[in-house]
A and B are shown apart, each in its own frame.
Chain A
Amino acid sequence: MSKSAWAWIWFAFLLALDIAIPWYVLTRVEKMSGAFLFWTIWVAVAIISAFVIFLKWKEVER
């Protein structure tokens, strides 16, 4: 499978977590360590993933 396909799958996985964890797993955790902390860490992971990909880009001559 191509790198692009893997990146799309990873993105879809992140979106699945976006719904599954706060809405179904942490729904009774009335603390900052619940949905607030999850979403903060979750998006940090998404951002780091984007950095890992785009830091490999190089100049093109077109």
Chain B
Amino acid sequence: MSATSWVWFGIVIYIAVGLAIATMARRQLGAGVSEFFLANRKLGGFLSAMTYSATTYSAFMMIGLAGLTYFHGVGALGFELTYLCGMFMMVFFLPRFWLVGKKYGYVSPMELLSDRYQSKWVGATAAILALVFLVPYGAVQLMGVGYLMNGISQGVIPVVVGIIIAVVCAIAWSNIAGMRSVAWTDAFQAIIMITVSAAVLGVVVVSLGGFGAFFSKLESAVPGLLTVPSAKGAWNINMFIGLALPWLFFLISNPQVSQRLFIPKSVTAMKQMLGGFLIFGFIYTLISVLWGFSATLLVPGLENADLATPTLLTLPIIPMGLAIIVMIGITAAAISTIDSILLTLSSVWARDIHKGLINPKVSEKGELKVGQWVIPVMAVIAFLFALWVAEKPGLDYMIAPLSAAASAGLLMAVPTIFGAFFWKRATATGAIVSCIVGAIIVLIFQITGWKPLGWWPGVWGFIVCVPLFIIVSLATKPPREKAEEFIGYLRGALKEGRFI
């Protein structure tokens, strides 16, 4: 059988197993919006940890992060681990989201904001922010799959075919049983992601003579990649902060992950979710970065960093079977992220835009139907964006910066989220103004490529939106009664659970 036939064989098996799991998950599906979008807040620790991990870690890791490491060296590790260090903030936010989610029945993080600020416009603003900025992030996942299948099949499978496969799987898995099918397929995919990436890294490291020889070769062949700023000069402190700052707050700014803070069934499940994710993230990050470093030794001189992984997988030292399994692992990482994004965006549209603004009297059944229709619509938009971006060469269109660009826009909601939990004086006007002005700044800087003082768009947006949030809040009237009730409830509940 040819390489392409093996690739198709692997894809068919993967889709078949994924569909079987999603279909089995459907047997547990009950009725209602909370059931469809949050699995009725009844997920156990293992599933919660796996769906959080698979949603967070995407094609970005083994393609984008590996590509960044390939081009810019160890700074890529620092950037990604800065994100993981930011997960320390989960000790503050996880119990808070979970407690108020249970008490007030929030379905989306935007609904939480609308209620806390007593303004549906706050939720709608944050929802629009998510709809705008998650499209590029979703598109990145599709591009990852397209590049990979194209690379492994040595150009026989066009990039667009890989993108279409990813779109169809994501739509199916998010629609079959909502969060239940997404969580179960995520768990399946998370296990594939980490085991096959570890296995293929092991094969490559052994072929380089073991870890000791691998590190020695790196130190002698590419010493400039082991420091920051990198010898090539592109990876400087501004790029590091520009990429790391939006990522640092990823856990609250990205609704597809913050929505998952509502789903554990108990405190024990919450602890398992957080602990499981931290261990998963630590291992997967190291694997992805070492993978990128191995590519610098084995396939030097590539012009497009996103092709480092696909090119490495075509080397004779990696058995064809393993290369195909790795391709499946990375495809799984991409699809597990995009199906979660689709599910979250559909819930955000249904709850915060449709019910919040367009038709407040819509029935629960009607709301669910709207959400299910939004899934394919958002998928098609992400698909078109991916097609457009895949033809653009250069750093601005690399997977990693594109992912960071999406997070830079979502970063503008961070002051609003902090204010909701920690500042009674925060107001709806402050939230709306800071989100909109910050997002406009990010968009303008992103589109024009303008970087005054060398600082990235997310940094400028954040510098403007934080003081704006504070000043406008101080100048306007807060929802005192709700703030007292919301934060007062949390104070008591946090004490009871020994949360901090």
Interface string of A18-56 (1 = CB under 8 A from B): 110011001111111011100110111011011101111
Q: How many A-B residue pairs have CB under 8 A?
A: 128
* Contact residues in A for B240 (Cβ distance below 8 Å): 23
Interface 0/1 of B54-90, CB less than 8 Å to A: 0000000000000000000011011001101101111
Bound complex: CA A50 to CA B84 (Å): 11
Residue in B85, B91, B237, B493 whose beta carbon sits within 8 Å of that of A15 in the complex:
B85
Q: From residue A33, how far is it (CB to closest CB) to chain B in Å? A: 9
B215 and A32 contact, CB distance less than 8 A: yes
Closest chain B CB from A8 CB (angstroms): 8
- B499: which A residues are within 8 A, CB to CB? 57
Q: Is B227 an interface residue (CB 8 A)?
A: yes
Q: Decide if A50 touches B278 in the complex (CB within 8 Å).
A: yes
Inter-chain CA distance A45–B40, complex, in Å, is 35
Contacts of B224 in A (CB 8 A): 30
B102 at the interface (CB under 8 A from A): yes
How far apart are the CA atoms of A22 and B85 in the complex, in Å? 15
Given contacts A4-B500, A27-B229, A35-B74, contact A54 B275 (CB under 8 A): yes
Say which one of B162-170, B172-180, B184-192, B263-271 lies at the interface with A: B263-271
Q: Determine whether B376 belongs to the interface, using a CB cutoff of 8 Å to chain A.
A: no
Per the bound structure, the CA–CA distance linking A50 and B240 in Å amounts to: 24
Q: How far is the CA of A33 from the CA of B215 in the complex (A)?
A: 10
Q: What residue of chain B has the Cβ atom nearest to residue A48's Cβ?
A: B278
| Contact partners of A29 in chain B: CB under 8 A | 226-227
A50 and B215 in contact, given A27-B227, A35-B226 (Cβ under 8 angstroms): no
- Decide if B497 touches A57 in the complex (CB within 8 Å): yes
Complex Cα gap A30–B221 (Å): 11
Indicate if the CB atoms of A57 and B85 lie closer than 8 Å. no
Flag whether B286 is at the interface (Cβ < 8 A).
Answer: yes
User: Which residues of chain A have a CB within 8 Å of any CB of chain B?
Assistant: 2-4, 7-8, 11, 14-15, 18-19, 22-23, 26-32, 34-36, 39-40, 42-44, 46-47, 49-51, 53-62
Query: Which 7 pairs, one residue from A and one from B, show the smallest C-beta to C-beta distance?
Result: A30-B223, A60-B497, A43-B81, A46-B85, A4-B500, A32-B215, A53-B91
